[in-house]
A and B are shown apart, each in its own frame.
Chain A
Amino acid sequence: MTMAAGTEVYNADAEPVIARGVSYTDAELDVTLCGSVSHILWDDAGTAALGTILTSVVTTDFSDQSVKRVLSSRATPENWRVGEALAEAFLVEHRACEFPWPSGRDLKNPSASPAGTDLVGFQETNKETKLYRFAFGEVKTSEQEKWPPGVMNGRHGLMKQLEDLRDSTNVKDSLVKYLGHHADRAAWLPLYKSAAKRYLSDPCDVSLFGILIRDVEPKPEDLARRAKDLAAGCPDTTSIELRAMYLPRKTINSLSERAVRARGGDYVKN
């Protein structure tokens, strides 16, 4: 385990929603970037697959010139990607979650088909009986000196995304089926079956996580009102946790650079 749980700076719980703010020191961030985040962010298998995909375009009789130009450009992870990897590492190491694919492979296509969430996987809810349920996570990274930051609101804001996951089966159904297509012969097949049985029996029986990555002064206003709103319509069997992770001040804009250096590479700004 290389990621610290952080130091709790406020508790804004609104039963049954858990809402906590935690702070991280520079040293804790460094350790995480070198360890857990590095494993998630640098997806060598995904990078190798890109090469194969690229060489296949010529067989379609469409021109590969432009897509080649875009895909061959050196991709330094955006700061928000590092933020997402931090969230994933926390959920894996402190919330017994398992995600079949590293979020580092997630390229975030804004015009992608309308089904998706930042993190989708499983959470172990009973160690002895090996019971699992589906875990869905949404992550936002913001350095805005505003509490709550703008990324919490609006059509693509964290709140709307979590409300949709709480109230609607559309996105969850699509993702459960998507995982089903990949489950055959996967090491996580037993986890999938365990979670899918529970989901079919009760589509509310899921874990939802909303993670906010910040580098400003910690204030409960980031989460308090949102926790109350989410609690108001929370089904009995759904668990919702909001977590604001406060990194040292002014570090978000150098997260990518630090992640690259932690891997021992040369940072090139996109």
Chain B
Amino acid sequence: MSKTDMIITEDALNRLDQHWAIQALGNDQVARALDVAAVRIMRSAVGRQMTIEFEETKSDAKVVERAAMAYELAAIEGLYALLHPSDDESRVQLRVQAQAGAFRAYSLRRTLPIPDGPEDCIFHVLHLAALAYCGDQWADLRRWLKDYEREVRPPSVADVSWDHRVLRRLYECWLRLLRKQGWDDLDGISEIIAGLRKDQEQYENTVLDKSDNAAAQAEALRLIALYHWAKATELLAIYILQGQPVGIEAELDKHFEAGQQAASAAQDAAFEVILRWLHVTSRRMVAGSLALESRPGG
């Protein structure tokens, strides 16, 4: 992991290890998980050039997952404070906890296998990206995305239902936002979302016409959540390119919160959780973009 990404202090990590979720897992399990992840990262970096003496056991994969989960719970506890920073000491502590928890969860989860199914893969990558941004590991994430370029590429939208088409296209937009391969790459985001608006009339009713009224309503709510996510994505891309609109934070809050509310009403837990993470990620991107001096016209 690059030193330049690292702004999480040793003190914050030590304090994090006293959190109830980490304590519940036990120090031995946590230490083992961190060792396993560190060796996996080292092995992937050095390839066959060097042999590292370390034997993984059958249960190590689970141990890494459990530890990542515990650190993520600690991060979740401080997510609100990270999203809405304040000088209040307890809120500052929670914000630091969120960053340190996300940093640890990211460093563990990045060593887990990428799921095969298109939707599982999308959720895995977006989740990992959000942890990276909250844990100040965005540069390491870019390298990870490059290393796994083939595995994480956007799945085809041919022959998929409208909601999956929107999800897959939005995933493509977020890959562009995360890998930062130049202005043209970012410029394409607005076109993708404009294309979705154009396609809506043609495809939307095919997923809404259901005989079960409750299922149709749930689908409608899920689409509303996707539309809010699309709008937030479009605004974020424009902001990164042009530095406008000025009140971008409020706009992102509005659309991500409405999206979460719709996903929650559709009882789509995984989708709601991903929107929560991407909400914080978008705000971190804006904060990072503000500090960027190379913005055209900026």
Q: Which residues of A contact B (CB under 8 A)?
A: 46, 49-50, 52-54, 56-57, 59-63, 66-67, 69-71, 73, 75-78, 81, 105-116, 169, 173-178, 180-181, 183-184, 193, 196-198, 200-201, 203, 270
Contacts and interface: CB of A to CB of B under 8 A. Distances in A.
A61 B77 CA distance: 33
Contacts of A70: 208, 216-217, 219-220
Given A112-B222, A200-B66, A59 B214 contact: no
Given A70-B208, A110-B215, A174-B269, A53 B69 contact: no
B200 A108 contact: no
Contact of B76 (A111, A116, A181): A181
Nearest to B232: A60
A174 B231 contact: no
Contacts of B72: 177
A76 B223 CA distance: 22
Contact of A53 (B207, B224, B271): B224
Contact of A113 (B213, B230, B268): B268
A213 B70 CA distance: 37
Given A67-B208, A105-B265, A270-B213, A111 B222 contact: yes
B21 interface: yes
B239 interface: no
Contacts of A73: 213, 217
Interface of B: 20-21, 24-26, 62, 65-66, 69-70, 72-73, 76-77, 79-80, 119-120, 123, 161, 163-164, 196-197, 200-201, 204-205, 207-208, 212-224, 227-228, 230-231, 254-255, 258, 261-262, 265-274, 276
A110 B274 CA distance: 18
Contacts of A177: 69, 72-73, 76, 273
A198 B25 CA distance: 9
B80 A200 contact: no
Contacts of A200: 21, 24-25, 66, 69-70, 73
Given A60-B255, A177-B69, A180-B76, A49 B265 contact: yes
Contacts of A60: 224, 227-228, 230-231, 255
B26 A112 contact: no
A113 B24 CA distance: 29
Task: Give 6 nearest A-B pairs by CB, closest first.
Answer: A109-B218, A107-B218, A113-B270, A200-B24, A60-B227, A178-B269
Contacts of B69: 173, 176-177, 200
B212 A78 contact: yes
A60 B254 CA distance: 10
Contacts of A106: 267
Contact of B265 (A53, A77, A196): A53
Most chain B beta carbons < 10 A, residue from A54, A56, A60, A184: A60
A53 B205 CA distance: 19
A113 B66 CA distance: 22
B77 A71 contact: no
Contacts of B197: 61-63
Contact of B258 (A53, A111, A112, A113): A53
A144 B128 CA distance: 45
A54 B221 CA distance: 9
B79 A181 contact: yes
Given A56-B224, A56-B258, A61-B231, 13 more contacts: A53-B262, A61-B197, A107-B217, A108-B214, A110-B218, A111-B161, A111-B219, A176-B69, A178-B272, A178-B273, A180-B76, A181-B76, A197-B21
